[in-house]
Amino acid sequence: MSPPRTADDLYAVVLAGGRGTRFWPLSRRARPKQCVSLTGGPTMLQDTVARLSPLIPPERVLVLTGPDMAPLVREQLPDVPADNVIVEPSPRNTAPCIALAAVEVARRAGGRAVLAILPADHHIGVPADLRAVLASAREAALTTNALVTLGIEPRYPEPGYGYLQVGSEMGSWGGHTFRMVDRFTEKPDRATAEQWVEAGTHLWNAGMFVFTADAIRDAIREHLPETAMAMLELSRDPALLPEVWPQMTATSIDYGIMERSRHILTVPCDPDWSDLGAWPALTDVLPEVEGGAGLAQKVVSVDSNDCVVFAPGKAVALVGLEDCVVVDTDDAILVMARSHAQSLREVLERLDLEAPDLT
């Protein structure tokens, strides 16, 4: 794999507006998943920015987040210039965020500058592989003017993900092979996912995209014309954001653009990606401990297996437990069967009503 070249025109756009509830009680409304450390070290947001260096230094990292979270985001990213933290006036999903970022990048570096769209709350086990594929995707995006989506080699038939059906080969850049995307499919049934993974015809859509500011503007013009109008006004006067923001179509980049566009490229890659969608996923990234994986001062396990423990600073004893998640924070404890991770939502709904200080 070729080393990343100088790419002064490559900007990271980190989407950090998420409000996930799937890591309660560690994550909270005021401290969402991307702003916590799931592994004991830096937060996911900090990791997301740090792993881009030296390909994309902090001054070319833009972070999009909500008004209430912006102070925490700036605090966690002291090397990112404060005005690179761009505040979405209200939550309107990812397409308006990317439109806003595209206007900002074009204003700073022109329409041929390249945006790498990156979620703030995903795990990447091999950052060098991510940087290499981003560098290649930049070249592909500049050469073809296509929208590029990173395609993760699927490791198992996860029905909760989006899948890319891979088409014909379009060329190689930076040692990576790029192919057409024939179709996007969100959340297939399990049998379908199994078939795809076995046949090797599909990749996981990881929500990481690379394109020039001009290319995404053109795609938005075609598929989200109201958003394109708002972008035009914004590019004339950034101060108009509060007025034009509500005119942008509240939709995701996947649904609003990617699934409707015909000229999408993907590049298969495997930087040990995980979206760490819920507590059970930590098995893959936390150190092995007795009885499973976890982070704790000490774990002692008797007749226990496949548990996930998150209790930094405490000793945890697991006795006769299979497939459980144990999480401790200052004010709350979660003990959950792995198989019930989807039901954590119900806990949050209850707490919203009965003890909102805990959500």
Which residues lie near a copy of itself (CB under 8 A)? 24-25, 297-298, 300, 302-303, 311, 314-321, 324, 326, 328, 331-337, 339-341, 343-344, 346-347, 350-351, 354-355, 358
CA count, 13 A, side-chain hemisphere, 115: 33
Cβ neighbours, 10 Å, residue 302: 11
Interhelix angle for 94-109 vs 225-236, to 10°? 40
To the nearest whole angstrom, how small is the minimum distance from the Cβ of residue 156 to a copy of itself? 22
Cβ neighbours, 10 Å, residue 231: 25
Provide the β-strand partners of residue 273: 124
Q: Phi, psi at residue 165, to the nearest 5°?
A: -85, 125
Cα–Cα distance measured from residue 273 to residue 156, given in angstroms and rounded to the nearest whole number: 13
Q: Report whether 224 contacts 181 (CB < 8 A).
A: no
Of the pair 188, 294, the CB lying nearest a copy of itself is at 294
To the nearest whole angstrom, how small is the minimum distance from the Cβ of residue 42 to a copy of itself? 25
To the nearest whole angstrom, how small is the minimum distance from the Cβ of residue 330 to a copy of itself? 8
- State the pairing for strand pair 61-65/85-87: parallel
**The token pair that represents 303 in the structure block:** 């007749």
Cα–Cα distance measured from residue 144 to residue 160, given in angstroms and rounded to the nearest whole number: 31
Let me know if 304 is exposed, middle or buried by CB neighbors in 10 A (0-12, 13-18, 19+): buried
Of the pair 270, 306, the CB lying nearest a copy of itself is at 306
To the nearest whole angstrom, how small is the minimum distance from the Cβ of residue 293 to a copy of itself? 15
Of the pair 191, 315, the CB lying nearest a copy of itself is at 315
Of the pair 64, 282, the CB lying nearest a copy of itself is at 282
To the nearest whole angstrom, how small is the minimum distance from the Cβ of residue 72 to a copy of itself? 23
Q: Report whether 261 contacts 219 (CB < 8 A).
A: yes
Of the pair 143, 343, the CB lying nearest a copy of itself is at 343
Of the pair 2, 342, the CB lying nearest a copy of itself is at 342
To the nearest whole angstrom, how small is the minimum distance from the Cβ of residue 302 to a copy of itself? 5
To the nearest whole angstrom, how small is the minimum distance from the Cβ of residue 63 to a copy of itself? 31
Is the previous residue joined to 119 through a cis bond, with omega within 30 degrees of 0? Answer: no
Selection from 208, 205, 206, 232 nearest residue 218 by Cα: 232
Of the pair 98, 321, the CB lying nearest a copy of itself is at 321
Of the pair 19, 314, the CB lying nearest a copy of itself is at 314
Q: In degrees, to the nearest 5, what angle opens at C-alpha 278 toward C-alphas 276 and 280?
A: 95
To the nearest whole angstrom, how small is the minimum distance from the Cβ of residue 70 to a copy of itself? 28
